[in-house]
């Protein structure tokens, strides 16, 4: 009969089987089964002990809270104790409220600086007012019973005329800005059409922007014109000349009335290539 050859025999063929590894591999399954049984037994033992302990503790707690109610009749009413009150004991005397103490209103003086203290002069007696006229000073004289005192003349009220000053005021920003006829596009078209490039600027090949500020008057005409930032070579003077020749604008308005308004525009000077 042929001997059964295992995997261990193939692995340890021509090797030292007395070293110990061969023996461990031969008995590995036995040791594993034994260890599993022992571990499961210990686990079941601990689990059973814990369950038994909890059950015993619950039983003891239930015994401690049980109350024997058989000897007590809950429907029976407990009679109230009778309290005897002697008839010859007088009631306690009523306490009288304490007498009210007299009071006088007095507010402590408020401290003030010396310059803030005003010494008030008492008014004159009524009998003096019957024969005198009320005034801001005392004057000795005849009695005022039969004397006719004319009323003081009415005070003249100074009327300050501010209309002219309001007309001369020049606004920077208003509710309704002034506008060139046809809008900004028409305005720049007017400038491009009427500006002549100065000869000096053409020879010097000067280009740039001239910033001009002017006043749009209440009637829409162009008022004072000045150059805020120029480039010279006759460009500044040409920009001022053309702006002064503009037609009348729609004036700016503030509170519904026409007013004088500052307006600023850039004028470009560009040489065509």
Q: DSSP for 5-22, please give it.
A: P-HHHHHTTTS-TTSSHH
In the chain, how many domains are there? 2
Has residue 202 been placed in a domain? yes
**Full-model pTM:** 0.41
What pLDDT sits at residue 217?
95
Residue 185 in domain: yes
Read off the pLDDT of each residue in 159-185 and give the average, rounded to a whole number.
79
Quickly state the pLDDT bin for 162 (edges 50, 70, 90): very low
pLDDT tens-digit readout, 3-12: 566 766 666 6
Domain containing residue 28: 1-60
Residue 30 has pLDDT above 90, yes or no: no
Inform me whether the pLDDT recorded for 194 exceeds 60.
Answer: yes
Higher pLDDT, 162 or 63: 63
pLDDT at 123 over 60: yes
More confident call, 181 vs 64: 181
Rounded-to-integer distance, Cα 234 and Cα 83, Å: 127
In a domain, 82, yes or no: no
- SS3 category, 46: helix
| HSE value, Cβ hemisphere, 13 Å, CA-based, for 35 | 6
pLDDT above 70 as % of the chain = 58
CATH number of the domain at 180, please.
Answer: 3.30.2420.10
- pLDDT tier at 158, thresholds 50, 70, 90: very low
Name the band, by pLDDT with cuts 50, 70 and 90, for residue 71: very low
51-73 burial by CB neighbour count: b if 16+ within 10 A, else e?
eeeeeeeeeeeeeeeeeeeeeee
Average pLDDT over residues 166-186: 89
Q: How confident is the model at residue 182 (pLDDT cuts 50, 70, 90)?
A: very high
Residue 130 placed within a domain: no
Within-domain flag for 2: yes
pLDDT of residue 122: 66
Residue 219 lies in a domain: yes
């Amino acid at each position: 009969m042929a001997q059964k050859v295992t995997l261990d025999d193939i692995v340890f063929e021509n090797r030292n089987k007395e070293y110990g590894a061969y023996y461990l591999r031969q008995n590995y399954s036995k040791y594993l089964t034994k260890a599993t049984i022992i571990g499961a037994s210990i686990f079941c033992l601990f689990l059973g002990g814990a369950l038994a302990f909890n059950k015993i503790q619950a039983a003891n707690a239930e015994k401690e809270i049980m109350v024997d109610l058989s000897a007590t009749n809950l429907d029976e009413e407990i009679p109230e104790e009778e309290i005897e009150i002697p008839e010859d004991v007088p009631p306690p005397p009523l306490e009288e409220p304490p007498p009210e103490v007299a009071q006088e209103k007095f507010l402590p003086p408020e401290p003030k600086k010396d310059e803030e203290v005003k010494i008030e002069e008492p008014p004159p007696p009524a009998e003096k007012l019957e024969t005198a006229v009320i005034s801001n000073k005392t004057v000795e004289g005849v009695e005022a019973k039969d004397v006719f005192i004319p009323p003081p003349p009415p005070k003249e009220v100074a009327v300050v005329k501010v209309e002219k000053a309001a007309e001369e005021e020049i606004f920077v920003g208003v509710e309704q800005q002034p506008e060139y006829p046809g809008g900004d596009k028409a305005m720049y078209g007017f400038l491009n059409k009427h500006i002549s490039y100065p000869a000096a600027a053409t020879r010097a090949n000067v280009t740039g922007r001239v910033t001009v500020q002017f006043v749009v008057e209440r009637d829409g005409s162009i008022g004072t014109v000045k150059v805020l930032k120029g480039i010279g070579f006759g460009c500044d003077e040409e920009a001022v000349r053309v702006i002064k020749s503009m037609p009348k604008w729609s004036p700016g308005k503030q509170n519904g009335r026409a007013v004088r308004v500052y307006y600023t525009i850039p004028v470009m000077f560009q040489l065509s290539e």
